[in-house]
Protein backbone atom coordinates (compact mmCIF):
# COMPACT_ATOMS: atom_id res chain seq x y z
CA UNK A 1 0.00 0.00 0.00
CA UNK A 2 1.07 3.55 -0.62
CA UNK A 3 2.20 5.81 2.25
CA UNK A 4 -1.00 7.91 2.34
CA UNK A 5 -3.56 5.21 1.56
CA UNK A 6 -6.79 5.81 3.44
CA UNK A 7 -5.90 9.42 4.27
CA UNK A 8 -7.87 12.49 3.25
CA UNK A 9 -5.99 15.73 2.53
CA UNK A 10 -7.10 19.30 1.93
CA UNK A 11 -4.70 21.62 0.09
CA UNK A 12 -5.59 25.31 0.35
CA UNK A 13 -4.52 26.92 -2.91
CA UNK A 14 -4.05 23.86 -5.12
CA UNK A 15 -4.83 24.99 -8.65
CA UNK A 16 -1.38 26.12 -9.79
CA UNK A 17 2.32 26.06 -8.97
CA UNK A 18 3.55 24.45 -5.77
CA UNK A 19 -0.02 23.73 -4.58
CA UNK A 20 -0.92 21.81 -7.74
CA UNK A 21 2.31 19.79 -7.40
CA UNK A 22 1.32 18.98 -3.81
CA UNK A 23 -2.14 17.86 -4.94
CA UNK A 24 -0.59 15.57 -7.57
CA UNK A 25 1.97 14.14 -5.15
CA UNK A 26 -0.44 13.44 -2.27
CA UNK A 27 -2.80 11.83 -4.79
CA UNK A 28 0.06 9.70 -6.18
CA UNK A 29 0.91 8.61 -2.63
CA UNK A 30 -2.63 7.30 -2.18
CA UNK A 31 -4.46 10.14 -0.43
CA UNK A 32 -7.91 11.33 -1.37
CA UNK A 33 -7.42 15.03 -2.06
CA UNK A 34 -9.57 18.16 -1.96
CA UNK A 35 -8.14 21.56 -2.85
CA UNK A 36 -9.24 25.17 -2.89
CA UNK A 37 -8.54 27.95 -5.36
CA UNK A 38 -9.92 31.44 -5.90
CA UNK A 39 -9.91 32.33 -9.60
CA UNK A 40 -8.40 29.60 -11.81
CA UNK A 41 -11.60 27.66 -12.63
CA UNK A 42 -10.18 26.11 -15.81
CA UNK A 43 -6.89 25.06 -14.21
CA UNK A 44 -8.71 23.56 -11.23
CA UNK A 45 -11.05 21.58 -13.50
CA UNK A 46 -8.11 20.38 -15.61
CA UNK A 47 -6.23 19.18 -12.53
CA UNK A 48 -9.29 17.29 -11.27
CA UNK A 49 -9.73 15.65 -14.67
CA UNK A 50 -6.08 14.66 -14.95
CA UNK A 51 -6.24 12.82 -11.62
CA UNK A 52 -9.64 11.16 -12.06
CA UNK A 53 -9.71 7.39 -11.63
CA UNK A 54 -12.60 4.90 -11.71
CA UNK A 55 -12.61 5.07 -7.88
CA UNK A 56 -13.07 8.83 -7.77
CA UNK A 57 -11.47 12.18 -8.33
CA UNK A 58 -10.12 15.11 -6.34
CA UNK A 59 -12.59 17.72 -5.14
CA UNK A 60 -11.97 21.32 -6.26
CA UNK A 61 -13.56 23.97 -4.04
CA UNK A 62 -13.72 27.64 -4.95
CA UNK A 63 -13.00 29.39 -1.64
CA UNK A 64 -11.22 32.69 -1.08
CA UNK A 65 -8.67 32.27 1.72
CA UNK A 66 -9.16 35.96 2.57
CA UNK A 67 -12.58 34.95 3.96
CA UNK A 68 -12.43 32.78 7.11
CA UNK A 69 -16.05 31.69 6.56
CA UNK A 70 -15.19 30.38 3.07
CA UNK A 71 -12.30 28.43 4.59
CA UNK A 72 -14.57 26.90 7.22
CA UNK A 73 -17.00 25.81 4.54
CA UNK A 74 -14.20 24.28 2.45
CA UNK A 75 -12.99 22.18 5.37
CA UNK A 76 -16.54 21.07 6.15
CA UNK A 77 -17.25 20.25 2.49
CA UNK A 78 -14.15 18.05 2.40
CA UNK A 79 -15.26 16.14 5.49
CA UNK A 80 -18.84 15.81 4.20
CA UNK A 81 -17.64 14.44 0.87
CA UNK A 82 -14.81 12.14 2.02
CA UNK A 83 -15.84 11.36 5.59
CA UNK A 84 -12.68 12.43 7.40
CA UNK A 85 -9.68 14.76 7.33
CA UNK A 86 -6.10 13.76 8.14
CA UNK A 87 -3.87 16.30 6.40
CA UNK A 88 -4.22 20.07 5.96
CA UNK A 89 -1.74 21.81 3.68
CA UNK A 90 -1.90 25.62 3.77
CA UNK A 91 -0.29 26.60 0.48
CA UNK A 92 -2.35 29.58 -0.72
CA UNK A 93 -0.24 32.71 -0.54
CA UNK A 94 0.17 36.01 -2.33
CA UNK A 95 3.07 38.38 -2.90
CA UNK A 96 2.22 42.01 -3.60
CA UNK A 97 5.50 43.83 -4.22
CA UNK A 98 5.92 47.27 -2.68
CA UNK A 99 8.71 49.44 -1.37
CA UNK A 100 8.24 50.94 2.07
CA UNK A 101 6.77 54.17 0.66
CA UNK A 102 4.27 52.39 -1.57
CA UNK A 103 2.53 49.74 0.55
CA UNK A 104 -1.18 50.53 1.02
CA UNK A 105 -3.29 49.47 3.98
CA UNK A 106 -5.31 47.29 1.60
CA UNK A 107 -2.21 45.45 0.33
CA UNK A 108 -0.93 44.98 3.89
CA UNK A 109 -4.28 43.60 5.06
CA UNK A 110 -4.72 41.32 2.06
CA UNK A 111 -1.30 39.70 2.47
CA UNK A 112 -1.86 39.20 6.20
CA UNK A 113 -5.38 37.83 5.60
CA UNK A 114 -4.33 35.23 3.03
CA UNK A 115 -0.78 34.36 4.15
CA UNK A 116 -1.42 34.30 7.93
CA UNK A 117 -5.02 34.65 9.15
CA UNK A 118 -6.28 31.97 6.74
CA UNK A 119 -3.65 29.54 7.99
CA UNK A 120 -4.74 29.88 11.58
CA UNK A 121 -8.48 29.59 10.90
CA UNK A 122 -8.06 26.69 8.46
CA UNK A 123 -6.13 24.86 11.17
CA UNK A 124 -8.70 25.78 13.81
CA UNK A 125 -11.50 24.15 11.83
CA UNK A 126 -9.49 21.27 10.40
CA UNK A 127 -8.17 19.96 13.72
CA UNK A 128 -11.73 19.52 14.99
CA UNK A 129 -11.86 16.58 12.60
CA UNK A 130 -8.33 15.24 13.11
CA UNK A 131 -7.19 12.62 15.55
CA UNK A 132 -3.84 11.19 16.56
CA UNK A 133 -1.57 11.27 13.49
CA UNK A 134 -3.14 14.42 12.07
CA UNK A 135 -0.92 16.73 10.03
CA UNK A 136 -0.97 20.50 9.57
CA UNK A 137 1.62 21.72 7.05
CA UNK A 138 2.05 25.32 5.89
CA UNK A 139 4.09 26.62 2.98
CA UNK A 140 6.02 29.51 4.46
CA UNK A 141 9.11 30.83 2.73
CA UNK A 142 12.85 31.17 3.13
CA UNK A 143 12.20 34.93 3.18
CA UNK A 144 11.26 34.38 6.82
CA UNK A 145 15.03 34.09 7.35
CA UNK A 146 16.49 36.05 4.42
CA UNK A 147 14.48 38.47 2.34
CA UNK A 148 17.30 39.05 -0.14
CA UNK A 149 15.68 41.81 -2.19
CA UNK A 150 13.91 45.11 -1.56
CA UNK A 151 10.15 45.42 -2.00
CA UNK A 152 8.79 42.57 0.06
CA UNK A 153 8.84 43.65 3.70
CA UNK A 154 5.21 42.73 4.39
CA UNK A 155 5.42 39.43 2.53
CA UNK A 156 8.53 38.55 4.56
CA UNK A 157 6.72 39.52 7.75
CA UNK A 158 3.84 37.17 6.91
CA UNK A 159 6.20 34.26 6.31
CA UNK A 160 8.07 34.90 9.57
CA UNK A 161 4.68 34.92 11.29
CA UNK A 162 4.10 31.40 9.98
CA UNK A 163 7.24 30.15 11.73
CA UNK A 164 5.94 31.46 15.08
CA UNK A 165 2.40 30.30 14.45
CA UNK A 166 3.74 26.84 13.64
CA UNK A 167 5.56 26.63 16.97
CA UNK A 168 2.52 27.83 18.89
CA UNK A 169 0.13 25.44 17.18
CA UNK A 170 2.55 22.56 17.70
CA UNK A 171 2.35 23.22 21.44
CA UNK A 172 -1.47 23.37 21.39
CA UNK A 173 -1.84 20.23 19.30
CA UNK A 174 1.05 18.04 20.47
CA UNK A 175 -1.03 16.48 23.26
CA UNK A 176 -3.58 15.44 20.61
CA UNK A 177 -0.95 13.70 18.46
CA UNK A 178 -1.25 16.25 15.65
CA UNK A 179 1.99 17.60 14.18
CA UNK A 180 2.34 21.12 12.77
CA UNK A 181 5.18 22.09 10.46
CA UNK A 182 6.32 24.87 8.14
CA UNK A 183 7.99 24.23 4.78
CA UNK A 184 10.14 27.17 3.68
CA UNK A 185 10.91 27.00 -0.04
CA UNK A 186 13.55 29.14 -1.65
CA UNK A 187 12.87 30.67 -5.07
CA UNK A 188 10.81 28.09 -6.98
CA UNK A 189 9.73 28.28 -10.63
CA UNK A 190 6.02 29.14 -10.67
CA UNK A 191 3.84 32.04 -11.78
CA UNK A 192 5.00 33.84 -8.61
CA UNK A 193 8.68 33.44 -9.49
CA UNK A 194 8.83 32.96 -13.27
CA UNK A 195 12.02 31.21 -14.38
CA UNK A 196 12.28 33.44 -17.48
CA UNK A 197 11.77 36.80 -15.74
CA UNK A 198 14.55 39.38 -15.91
CA UNK A 199 15.33 38.99 -12.21
CA UNK A 200 15.59 35.19 -12.40
CA UNK A 201 19.32 35.24 -13.29
CA UNK A 202 20.02 37.44 -10.29
CA UNK A 203 18.06 35.06 -8.08
CA UNK A 204 19.91 32.04 -9.46
CA UNK A 205 23.26 33.66 -8.67
CA UNK A 206 22.30 33.69 -4.98
CA UNK A 207 21.45 29.98 -4.88
CA UNK A 208 24.25 27.49 -4.15
CA UNK A 209 22.84 25.01 -6.68
CA UNK A 210 22.56 27.76 -9.30
CA UNK A 211 18.94 27.10 -10.24
CA UNK A 212 15.40 27.69 -9.06
CA UNK A 213 13.54 24.97 -7.21
CA UNK A 214 10.89 22.90 -8.96
CA UNK A 215 7.38 22.60 -7.61
CA UNK A 216 7.63 18.82 -7.36
CA UNK A 217 10.74 19.11 -5.16
CA UNK A 218 8.74 21.13 -2.63
CA UNK A 219 5.88 18.64 -2.91
CA UNK A 220 8.28 15.82 -2.02
CA UNK A 221 9.08 17.39 1.34
CA UNK A 222 5.39 18.03 1.97
CA UNK A 223 4.64 14.37 1.22
CA UNK A 224 7.30 13.30 3.73
CA UNK A 225 5.81 15.56 6.41
CA UNK A 226 2.30 14.31 5.58
CA UNK A 227 3.36 10.69 5.90
CA UNK A 228 3.93 8.37 8.85
CA UNK A 229 7.74 8.63 8.87
CA UNK A 230 7.71 12.27 10.03
CA UNK A 231 5.89 11.47 13.27
CA UNK A 232 8.51 13.04 15.58
CA UNK A 233 8.79 16.35 13.69
CA UNK A 234 6.60 19.16 14.99
CA UNK A 235 6.88 22.90 15.42
CA UNK A 236 9.66 22.93 12.85
CA UNK A 237 10.43 25.22 9.95
CA UNK A 238 12.15 23.14 7.28
CA UNK A 239 14.01 25.10 4.62
CA UNK A 240 14.24 23.74 1.07
CA UNK A 241 16.12 26.40 -0.88
CA UNK A 242 18.97 24.97 -2.95
CA UNK A 243 21.37 26.68 -0.57
CA UNK A 244 19.96 30.22 -0.79
CA UNK A 245 20.72 30.56 2.93
CA UNK A 246 24.01 28.69 2.81
Catalog residues that contact ligand NDP under the rule CB under 6 A: 13-19, 36-40, 43, 64-66, 91-94, 114, 139, 141, 185, 187-188, 190-193
The least distance separating ligand NDP from the CB of residue 118, rounded to whole angstroms, comes to 7
Instruction: State phi, psi for 61 to the nearest 5 degrees.
Output: -125, 125
- Secondary structure E strands in 114-178: 135-139
Say which of 37, 155, 224, 244 is annotated catalytic: 155
For residue 21, give Cα distances in angstroms to 122, 128, 214. 20, 26, 9
To ligand NDP, the closest distance from the beta carbon of 209 in angstroms equals 14
Angle at which helices 153-173 and 105-112 cross, to 10°: 30
What distance, in Å, lies between the first and last C-alpha atoms of the chain? 38
Q: Toward ligand NDP, which CB reaches closer, 79 or 94?
A: 94
Identify whether 155 is a catalytic site residue: yes
Least distance to ligand NDP, CB of residue 44, Å: 7
Our CB check for ligand NDP shows the closer of 55 and 196 to be: 196
Our CB check for ligand NDP shows the closer of 133 and 214 to be 214
Q: Which residues pair with 10 in a beta bridge?
A: 34, 88
Task: State in angstroms the smallest separation of the CB of 16 from ligand NDP.
Answer: 4
Residues near 79 by beta carbon (within 8 Å), at least 6 away in sequence: 8, 85, 129
Compare residues 55 and 191 and give the one whose CB is closer to ligand NDP: 191
- Is 213 exposed, middle or buried, given 0-12, 13-18 or 19+ CB atoms closer than 10 A? buried
Active site residues: 155
Amino acid sequence: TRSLSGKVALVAGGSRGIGAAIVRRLHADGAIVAFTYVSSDAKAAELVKSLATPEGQPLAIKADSADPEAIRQAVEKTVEKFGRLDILVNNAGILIHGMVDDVSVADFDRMVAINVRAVFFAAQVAVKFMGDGGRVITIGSVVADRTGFPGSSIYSMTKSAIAGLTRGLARDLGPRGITVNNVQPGPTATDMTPADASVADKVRSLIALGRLGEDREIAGLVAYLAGPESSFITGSSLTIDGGYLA
